[in-house]
Chains A and B, each alone.
Chain A
């Protein structure tokens, strides 16, 4: 399953709710303001690190770059472009957008 998060974790709790629900092996993709979750050493960085143990975490590079945080991305997060986004939706049979 692919979870898609488009809200900043510093504004809404959708990412934390997703972490609580996501099964081991599911992928989590951060897009739009959701990419603020990639910032290393943030107040939620430990939660992200913990989630990485059971879920692969991706972020949309265009949205990371648009927000000027490309040099702050924590280790372990995979940056992808729109083609990679399409590929991720093909690789996972079920998609959940946390709107």
Chain B
């Protein structure tokens, strides 16, 4: 079955990002297809590579990046939500006249249409948030 996953909560907030990750991993390991993971609202905070959790804690961001690399996941960050929260890739940073970028590996910045397309193209849209 084909899934799109929506993540609307940041890391280390409550539990939505963790649940979304565990669900996505379980679905992939069962042989299902993840069409896209869309990070929306505070969920865009899952995409900053500057996160530095304590060594004995899970690294939520790195975990998503590694899952994306292993399964070639399409992980999309909402551009409007990202701009508000200071999440930028090199292009976005330059375009907005900023002095740095912080998008973690495996993520890409795009628009809300990507969520709608995911909902249309997939059999299921599973929403995780707060």
Q: Which A residues are within 8 Å of any B CB, using their own CB? A: 6, 31-33, 60, 62-63, 81-83, 85-86, 89-90, 95, 97, 99
Residues of B within 8 A of A31 (CB): 19
Candidates B8, B14, B15, B124; contact of A95 at CB < 8 Å: B124
Find out whether the CB atom of B23 lies under 8 angstroms from the CB atom of A32.
no
Find out whether the CB atom of B125 lies under 8 angstroms from the CB atom of A86.
no
State in angstroms the CA–CA spacing of A60 and B128 once bound together: 14
The 6 closest A-B pairs by CB, nearest first: A82-B26, A97-B127, A32-B15, A99-B129, A86-B27, A82-B22
Residues of B within 8 A of A32 (CB): 14-16, 19
Candidates B3, B8, B22, B125; contact of A62 at CB < 8 Å: B22
Q: With an 8 A cutoff between CB atoms, is B117 at the interface?
A: no
Residues of A within 8 A of B1 (CB): 90
Residues of A within 8 A of B26 (CB): 81-83, 85-86
State in angstroms the CA–CA spacing of A63 and B19 once bound together: 10
The size class of the interface chain B forms with chain A is 20 to 34
Q: With an 8 A cutoff between CB atoms, is B130 at the interface?
A: yes
Residues of B within 8 A of A33 (CB): 14-15
Find out whether the CB atom of A83 lies under 8 angstroms from the CB atom of B129.
no
A interface footprint on B102-130 (CB within 8 Å = 1, 0 otherwise): 00000000000000000000001111111
Closest CB of chain B to A49's CB: distance in Å? 26
Find out whether the CB atom of B125 lies under 8 angstroms from the CB atom of A95.
yes
Find out whether the CB atom of A95 lies under 8 angstroms from the CB atom of B127.
yes
State in angstroms the CA–CA spacing of A31 and B8 once bound together: 16
State in angstroms the CA–CA spacing of A60 and B19 once bound together: 10
State in angstroms the CA–CA spacing of A6 and B25 once bound together: 19
State in angstroms the CA–CA spacing of A89 and B129 once bound together: 17
- A6-B130, A86-B23 are known; give 6 further A-B pairs, CB within 8 A: A6-B16, A86-B32, A90-B124, A95-B124, A95-B126, A99-B8
